[in-house]
Structure 1
Amino acid sequence: MEDLPPIIVRKVVKKGGHHGGAWKVAFADFATAMMAFFLVLWLSATASPEQKEAIEGYFKDPIGFVEGGSPNPVDLDGSAAVVRASSADQQDTEIQFEDDEIEQLADSIEEERLQDLMMTLQEKIDENQTLQEFKDQLLLDITPEGLRIQIVDQSKRPMFDSGKSELKFYSEDLLVELGKTISQVPNKISLTGHTDALPFSGREGYTNWELSADRANAARRAVVAGGVDEDQVSRVVGLASSVLFDQKDPFAAVNRRIAIIVLNRKAEDEITRNAGVRDAGTNQKENSNQKESADKLESGTWFDDAEEVNPDDVSW
């Protein structure tokens, strides 16, 4: 009888152990929630009615734009603080601003907006290929009237042909690109044309005054094509050579330029006020003349003032 290999029986004995720690996490969450719940109950019981109203308004409108909102219902020290007073005391807690303070605040906001516009234009000049070619001819600065953008001539790259008011194609592209950015702000703009001191002799009765005004108007059409609204244009002025860029050389190319000013509020008001005074004076004079004419017509003195005409002297 052959020897058989021994039979080995392996017994696995299961030992008792824990079932995991998930229940501990759940219990910890439950205990935290209960602690927070009782904390809210305790705060609600100890808060005054005014504090409850302020907290209620905060959760309704955290930014505080509508009635009942409060941006800071609790101060930095952690104690409850009433920011919004009750309706009985609301009149006493309203913040009052003087006219001068409001004026200064509006001016600072507007100045910041013009500064942002200047930075945007400078960034576009660096990024835009059309504007980058004119980088040496574009001058940006803040003046008492607002943001001034000056496009000056170069001897090798003028904006206009000599004695002409038609924009060269690259000058028109430049102004169209500027118009796209200027149209993004609500401020009105002023356009001014300038020439050098060389007298214009191409046409009788046509001087640098007419030429500079026509060039400013050509610039206006270009920025309007770029997106500037017609109503955004406050004035278009031709100053000939009365305001030279280079005082030492009246015939220098930089004296031939177009200036675009994004007007601030004070400059806009000044222009509107001056226009109103002129219109009022004109209307007053016209009304006076019309009244005088009506009085003469009614009294019959209109025809008395007319010169007598001999029918024989009239050729029909």
Structure 2
Amino acid sequence: MRQSQHERSRRWKKSEQSGDSKDRWMITYADLITLLLIFFIIMYGMSRLDVEKYELVTQSLQHTFSSGNSIIAGGNGILDGSQSPDIHEDPGSGSAEADQSNQNGEEPLSERELAFRKQEEELQDLMKRIEAYVKDNHLQDQIHVADLPKGISITLSDRFLFDTGKAELKQGSAKTMAKLASLFKQLDTVISIEGHTDNQPIVRASKFKDNWELSGERALSVLRFFLDKEKLDPQHFQYAGYADTRPTGDNTTAEGRQKNRRVEITVLRQLQQ
């Protein structure tokens, strides 16, 4: 009798243990399902992009990298010494912006930050003046002004500046070019001049070998006007010709090719040293 009871007890314990071992896989399976659920919730949350915030971050990064002290140019990069908050100034020489920041309990702006703010105000004022000039002189179909992350872009049609296949400025464009020069004199930044063409090959009668020469000579003509006739500082300018490599219109249509033949003058968001 005792032996039978002992055997039954051993069998019950053995069956109980075997039952536990059979059910243990459910714990691992439940953990796996829970982790997968958490993973997909995280992936779903990351996939919901806030477009407005993304554009703000993108513009901020572009502004920072385009205006920083370039390592290639011999500087120290974005984190150069001029951005250090440890700037020793005469206590009586603080700007109105710094005083206002102190009153609000905020840290005062550095000299570089104040310079960027000043430049941005100048660029916005420049854009308003050019837009008003274009409107007053009914040049909307010849000159287009845009505020881009890299700076204020002024696009001039080749019909306004040049005769077909030539790189000499038309006499009728001198007034507008002189107006732009008068506005550029007030700025302390770099101005980029770029020549562009359509994809049509140069005719044999032309003195230019190809569209690369034509686009470069047209950009150079605009630069020469600012330097030779308007006596602007050459250190504030750069120029290049891109031929048909950067089209803005469809080269398969006459309207698109006309849009591609242009000179772009961009006042860069970039502080001079």
Secondary structure of 2:161's match? coil
For 2:133, the equivalent position in structure 1 comes to 124
Structure 2: how far apart are the matches of 1:256 and 1:66? 54
Secondary structure of 1:184's match? coil
How many Å apart are 1:123 and its aligned residue? Answer: 2.5
Structure 2: how far apart are the matches of 1:205 and 1:67? 60
For 1:169, the equivalent position in structure 2 comes to 171
Are 1:229 and 2:233 counterparts? yes
Q: Find runs of 4+ consecutive structure 1 residues off by over 6 angstroms.
A: none
Contact 1:194/1:255 (CA < 8 Å) preserved in 2? yes
Task: From the two aligned structures, give the one with the greater helix fraction.
Answer: 2
For 1:210, the equivalent position in structure 2 comes to 213
Equivalent position to 1:193, from 192, 195, 205: 195
Change (3 A) 1:68 1:113: closer
Contact 1:149/1:261 (CA < 8 Å) preserved in 2? yes
Secondary structure of 1:162's match? coil
Secondary structure of 1:150's match? strand
For 2:150, the equivalent position in structure 1 comes to 145
Secondary structure of 2:123's match? helix
The 5 A counterparts of 1:9-88 are: 67=92
Structure 2: how far apart are the matches of 1:120 and 1:205? 36
Q: Which runs of 5+ in 2 are unaligned?
A: 1-89, 97-102
Change (3 A) 1:109 1:212: same
Secondary structure of 1:190's match? strand
What percentage of aligned pairs have identical amino acids? 30
Aligned pair count reads 172
Q: Which runs of 5+ in 1 are unaligned?
A: 1-64, 72-82, 84-92, 270-316
- RMSD of aligned residue pairs (Cα, Å): 3.3
Normalising by structure 1, report the TM-score.
0.47
How many Å apart are 1:186 and its aligned residue? Answer: 1.3
Structure 2: how far apart are the matches of 1:136 and 1:96? 45
Structure 1: how far apart are the matches of 2:214 and 2:253? 17
Equivalent position to 2:222, from 219, 223, 247: 219
Are 1:115 and 2:115 counterparts? no
Normalising by structure 2, report the TM-score.
0.54
Change (3 A) 1:105 1:196: same
